[in-house]
Structure 1
Amino acid sequence: MAGVKQVMDITDWAVQREIVFLVLFMLVFAILCFVIYKVAKVLGEEREQSISERKEYLVTLTKQQELIEQQQQILEEEKQTLAGISTTVINVDRKLDNMMEKIQYSKEEKSSF
């Protein structure tokens, strides 16, 4: 009976060791699954965040493009206004020159008498 008892003890020990090994394996597997879940969750959040940042960046770029177009339009209008002012100044200058010539001519005519 001593031999049977030793065999039973050894068998119990082996079963207990296997169970311990199985429990350790399951614990490591559960930790690994948890880590993989957390990594996937963090990567998903980062992906969503980067997508939202890109959308915000595109909105900002669109607004900047609209502002640039408005500024270009304003500059074009100012250019046309300045061209009109320049034409007006040139016309006024010519009229003044003509009037000065007429005044000069009439002074010369008066002095010749």
Structure 2
Amino acid sequence: MVMYNQFLKPYMAGHPNSRILYHEFGPFEEWSYVVVRWLGGKRVQTMKDEGKLVFLTKDNRASMDRLLKQGYFDIVVSAFPDQLEHMLSDTKAMKAEISPPGYKVYYVKR
């Protein structure tokens, strides 16, 4: 998770208005939020409150799929890309200097 955060912090600094979809089904579907919030602080909480950082859960999957296909998000970060590949036809893999182990990051094509 630290590697993921090392990637995301510089991205967010350079793209302050980006909208990020974060995909990981952790325990109770809150694990990602708790860790990212703890590592990212108040700014991450503000992004979540403003809809700039959204966590994909089983409950919001249909609406997030719709928003993704409409181009709402700028990047998608996935800890389980094999589960998400069918939803990512309008994206391309993103090259990053820091590649979080086990994660795949995508640009959303416009």
Could you say which TM-score interval applies, normalised by the shorter chain? Answer: under 0.3
Higher strand share: 2
- Higher radius of gyration, 1 or 2: 1
More helix by share: 1
RCO greater where, 1 or 2, for CA within 8 Å and sep 6 or more? 2
